[in-house]
């Protein structure tokens, strides 16, 4: 029985909805027994492919908790979200909260994501979420989609961990999708900060080592990354490398839209 596909339930800066057509060209998900995504973020590719068996992870503990609790406790989350007000006063009240109950904390995370400015995830040096209220007056939750997403996640192993630790779960013939935080700005020489920490140039080298191990195992991968000369040099390993242009989607409704190049690398023939 084919599962109904959910849409991503989170707004996520750097999400990969723009990549879906290319993914369909590259991947027949039915050709792979198991799917891995160690930088899950908003999960655009995961939900689009709708794999039968999957491992997803991320180093963002709050993000991963929202996936786990949605998978296991969707109805209580919906009940909590129904009680959260889309007002500036309530937003800042909830933003200050930190719930010990993991279900409440997941609902808080989803609420802040949906009602904040541009759905950005950003924390201060104390690790406190500090994105301002988004003034989304007409926002409504898609509770039916949350239920579908919960069902999609049922056969998925979900963990919060560094990407390198996920290698032990990968077997021959598995597919791994990699969407790391971009260390460098698109087509520029400057380095950019990603949330609380930097995904450093050294992490990019670690990622190249990870890809080499995947190939030694006999697994397949698709990776997206910034189209920057340093990235091209690090990942120049004889595999296919495509450069695609897309519009920047980060910014307010009056923000200027610019074209950026991004890389897709893969060992799928």
Q: Write down the pLDDT at residue 126.
A: 85
Q: Write down the pLDDT at residue 181.
A: 86
Tell me the two tokens of residue 88. Answer: 């500036």
Q: Write down the pLDDT at residue 258.
A: 56
Interatomic CA distance for residues 6 and 77, integer angstroms: 17
Q: Write down the pLDDT at residue 189.
A: 41
Domains of the chain in sequence order: 17-59+156-266 (3.40.50.150), 69-148 (1.10.1020.10)
Show pLDDT as tens, one digit a residue, over the chain (269 residues): 457 899 999 998 877 888 898 899 989 999 999 999 999 999 999 999 999 999 999 999 999 999 999 999 999 999 999 999 999 999 999 999 999 999 999 999 999 999 999 888 888 888 889 999 999 999 999 999 999 999 999 999 999 999 999 999 999 999 999 999 876 654 544 444 433 355 888 899 999 999 999 999 999 999 999 888 989 999 999 999 999 887 654 444 544 555 668 899 999 98
Q: Write down the pLDDT at residue 191.
A: 43
Phi, psi of 94 (to 5 degrees): -70, -35
Provide the residue count of the chain. 269
* Residue in 223, 262, 260 with CA at minimum distance from that of residue 239: 223
pTM for the complete prediction?
A: 0.90
Question: What count of Cα atoms within 13 Å lies in the side-chain half-sphere of residue 49?
Answer: 31
Q: Write down the pLDDT at residue 225.
A: 92
Distances (CA, A) of 264 to 65, 81, 117, 185, 205: 29, 37, 29, 16, 17
Distances (CA, A) of 141 to 44, 82, 138: 18, 9, 10
């Amino acid at each position: 029985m084919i599962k109904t596909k959910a849409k991503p339930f989170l707004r996520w800066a750097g999400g990969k909805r723009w990549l879906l057509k290319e993914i369909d060209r590259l991947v027949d998900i039915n050709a792979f027994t198991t799917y891995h995504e160690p930088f899950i973020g908003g999960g655009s590719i995961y939900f689009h492919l709708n794999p039968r068996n999957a491992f997803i992870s991320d180093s963002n503990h709050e993000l991963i908790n929202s996936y786990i609790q949605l998978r296991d406790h969707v109805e209580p989350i919906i009940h909590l979200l129904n009680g959260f007000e889309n007002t500036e006063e309530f937003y800042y009240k909830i933003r200050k909260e930190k719930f010990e109950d993991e279900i409440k904390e997941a609902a808080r995370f989803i609420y802040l994501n949906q009602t904040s400015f541009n759905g950005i995830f950003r924390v201060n040096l104390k690790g406190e979420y500090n994105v301002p209220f988004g003034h989304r007056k007409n926002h409504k939750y898609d509770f039916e989609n949350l239920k579908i997403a919960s069902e999609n996640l049922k056969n998925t192993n979900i963990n919060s961990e560094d990407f390198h630790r996920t290698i032990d779960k990968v077997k021959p013939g598995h597919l791994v999708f990699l969407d790391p935080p971009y260390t460098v700005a698109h087509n520029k020489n400057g380095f950019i900060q990603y949330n609380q920490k930097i995904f450093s140039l050294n992490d990019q080298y670690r990622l190249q080592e990870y890809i080499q191990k995947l190939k030694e195992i006999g697994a397949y991968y698709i990776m997206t990354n910034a189209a920057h000369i340093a990235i091209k040099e690090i990942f120049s390993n004889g595999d296919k490398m495509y450069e695609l242009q897309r519009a920047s989607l980060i910014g307010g409704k009056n923000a200027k839209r610019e074209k950026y190049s991004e890389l897709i690398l893969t060992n799928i023939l």
